């Protein structure tokens, strides 16, 4: 698995006439070496691979990154990285354009005398299609989130705060095997429901309010992402109506997510469906994003998506929402796998309209 990832990097080096790349992004350290720690660099050349770290991680790196020569630094990460690049005899070396901070770029440029260090590579692209093992980890992260939703339903009632609901969700995910939340848990109730990213506050949830919960777990470094909206007490006709329209659109998108579909088309279809009831104008964000080691990855499902053609093994979220300032809002989201023949929702928690009484 790591072999195949290194092959992919080396093909990129070949294609661009490069001798090596210095990898610095946290999730890419993991993806290309197997190592799960920070303050580390990888130097990957056409025929060599080194992992430069410090004493906190030397033993761990030896266990997790067996295909890499482990180099322990004491004098500074960037100067040791420079030493390794020079010892590999590399002339033309790339960096991660979306990950190397400017100060470190300047420092490396100074240190790498005699080396051309001007090419930015974007390695995230190599993570777009997930392999079987990655899919199994994401599937597990999704099951963990499903379980947490089931458990939190027994807890939500008028009088509890959004923060308490978030704590229950996060604790239930931990108890079911999650390493940590995959992002800051969103719990937006009542009027706060119009905030698409309303992270939990000390607001007390009251009867008659919709509660949007957007959360995810992490398993072996891989994320899940799910949103469910429920009503505490009896819903109004408008709440029920809008919920069912969003649900219909969300289900329709599941049918459109398949190999060959473009990121723009799927997004547009959902917008048009919501527009039939004049709700499209309240749906201000893209329909979905990919996820994996990061919670937001490419490809996207949106009006700006550059994805011409979804491929089997890609993951996308399907998350339409309606947000009406002064009224509230709701969203329904699943993590979805693109399969050979269509799509499979990996989050499976109940999404029929739930009224907690």
In sign, the C-alpha dihedral spanning 244, 248, 253, 255 is: positive
Residue 178 binds which of Mn ion, ligand GLY, none (CB < 5-8 A, kind-dependent): none
Query: Does 225 contact Mn ion by CB under 5 A?
Result: yes
Q: Which of 209, 225, 297, 334 binds ligand GLY (CB under 6 A)?
A: 225
Nearest residue (CB) to Mn ion, 10 versus 289: 289
Distance of CA 92 to the CA centre of its chain: 32
Which structure tokens are listed for 47?
């025929």
Within residues 256-315, the interface with ligand GLY by CB under 6 A covers none
CB of 76 to Mn ion, least distance (A): 38
Query: Does 212 contact Mn ion by CB under 5 A?
Result: no
Nearest residue (CB) to ligand GLY, 53 versus 302: 302
CB of 302 to ligand GLY, least distance (A): 12
Is residue 67 within 8 A of residue 4, CB to CB? The reply is no
Is residue 310 within 8 A of residue 261, CB to CB? The reply is yes
Nearest residue (CB) to ligand GLY, 214 versus 334: 214
CB of 289 to Mn ion, least distance (A): 6
Nearest residue (CB) to ligand GLY, 41 versus 302: 302
Instruction: Please tell me the count of residues contacting Mn ion according to CB under 5 A.
Output: 2
Closest CA to 222 of 250, 258, 182, 164: 182
Nearest residue (CB) to ligand GLY, 5 versus 300: 300
CA distances, 351 to each of 206, 252, 335, 354 (Å): 21, 14, 13, 8
CB of 215 to ligand GLY, least distance (A): 8
Residue 183 binds which of Mn ion, ligand GLY, none (CB < 5-8 A, kind-dependent): ligand GLY
Closest CA to 305 of 267, 260, 251, 258: 267
How many other CB atoms sit within 10 Å of the CB of residue 234? 12
Region for 278 from its dihedrals, namely left if φ exceeds 0, alpha if ψ lies in -120 to 50, beta otherwise: left
Q: Which of 183, 243, 283, 323 binds ligand GLY (CB under 6 A)?
A: 183
CA distances, 215 to each of 246, 273, 318, 336 (Å): 19, 26, 14, 15
CA distances, 319 to each of 38, 52, 69, 263 (Å): 31, 40, 43, 13
CB of 309 to ligand GLY, least distance (A): 23
CB of 203 to ligand GLY, least distance (A): 19
Task: Report how far residue 1's alpha carbon sits from residue 85's, in angstroms, rounded to the nearest whole number.
Answer: 25
CB of 98 to Mn ion, least distance (A): 20
Instruction: Please tell me the count of residues contacting ligand GLY according to CB under 6 A.
Output: 3
Within residues 123-182, the interface with ligand GLY by CB under 6 A covers none
Which residues are within 8 A (CB) of 187 and not within 5 positions of it... i.e. 6 or more apart? 162, 163, 165, 166, 169, 198, 199, 200, 211, 212, 213
CB of 145 to Mn ion, least distance (A): 11
3-state secondary structure of 60: helix
Nearest residue (CB) to ligand GLY, 213 versus 232: 213
Query: Does 334 contact Mn ion by CB under 5 A?
Result: no
Nearest residue (CB) to ligand GLY, 41 versus 229: 229
Within residues 282-321, the interface with Mn ion by CB under 5 A covers 317
Nearest residue (CB) to Mn ion, 235 versus 301: 301
Residues of this chain that interact with ligand GLY (CB under 6 A) are 183, 214, 225
Chain residues binding Mn ion by CB under 5 A are 225, 317
């Amino acid at each position: 698995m790591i072999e195949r990832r290194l092959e992919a990097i080396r093909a990129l080096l070949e294609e661009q006439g490069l001798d090596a790349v210095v990898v610095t992004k946290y999730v890419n350290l993991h993806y290309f070496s197997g190592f799960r720690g920070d303050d580390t660099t990888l130097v990957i050349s056409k025929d060599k691979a080194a992992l430069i770290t410090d004493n906190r991680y030397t033993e761990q790196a030896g266990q997790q990154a067996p295909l890499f020569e482990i180099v322990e630094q004491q004098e500074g990460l960037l100067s040791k990285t420079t030493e390794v690049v020079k010892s590999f005899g590399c002339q033309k070396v790339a960096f991660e354009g979306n990950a190397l901070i400017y100060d470190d770029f300047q420092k490396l440029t100074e240190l790498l005398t005699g080396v051309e260090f001007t090419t930015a590579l974007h390695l995230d692209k190599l993570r777009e299609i997930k392999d079987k093992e990655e899919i199994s980890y994401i599937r597990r992260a999704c099951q963990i989130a499903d379980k947490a939703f089931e458990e939190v339903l027994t807890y939500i009632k008028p009088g509890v705060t959004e923060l308490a609901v978030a704590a229950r969700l996060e604790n239930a995910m931990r108890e079911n095997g999650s390493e940590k939340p995959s992002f800051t848990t969103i719990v937006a109730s009542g009027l706060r429901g119009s905030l698409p990213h309303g992270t939990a506050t000390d607001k007390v949830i009251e009867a008659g309010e919709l509660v949007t919960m957007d959360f995810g777990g992490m398993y072996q470094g891989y994320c899940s992402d799910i949103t469910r909206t429920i009503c505490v007490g009896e819903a109004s006709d408008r709440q029920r109506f809008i919920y069912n329209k969003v649900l219909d659109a969300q289900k329709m998108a599941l049918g459109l997510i398949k190999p060959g579909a473009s990121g723009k088309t799927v997004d547009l279809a959902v917008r048009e469906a919501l527009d039939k009831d004049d709700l499209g104008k309240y749906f201000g964000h893209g329909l979905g994003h990919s996820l994996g080691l990061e919670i937001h990855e490419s490809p996207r499902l949106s009006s700006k998506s550059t994805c011409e053609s979804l491929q089997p093994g890609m993951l996308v979220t399907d998350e339409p929402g309606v947000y009406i300032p002064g009224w509230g809002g709701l969203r329904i989201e699943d993590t979805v796998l693109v399969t050979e023949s269509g799509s499979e929702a990996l989050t499976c928690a109940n999404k029929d309209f739930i009224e907690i009484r």
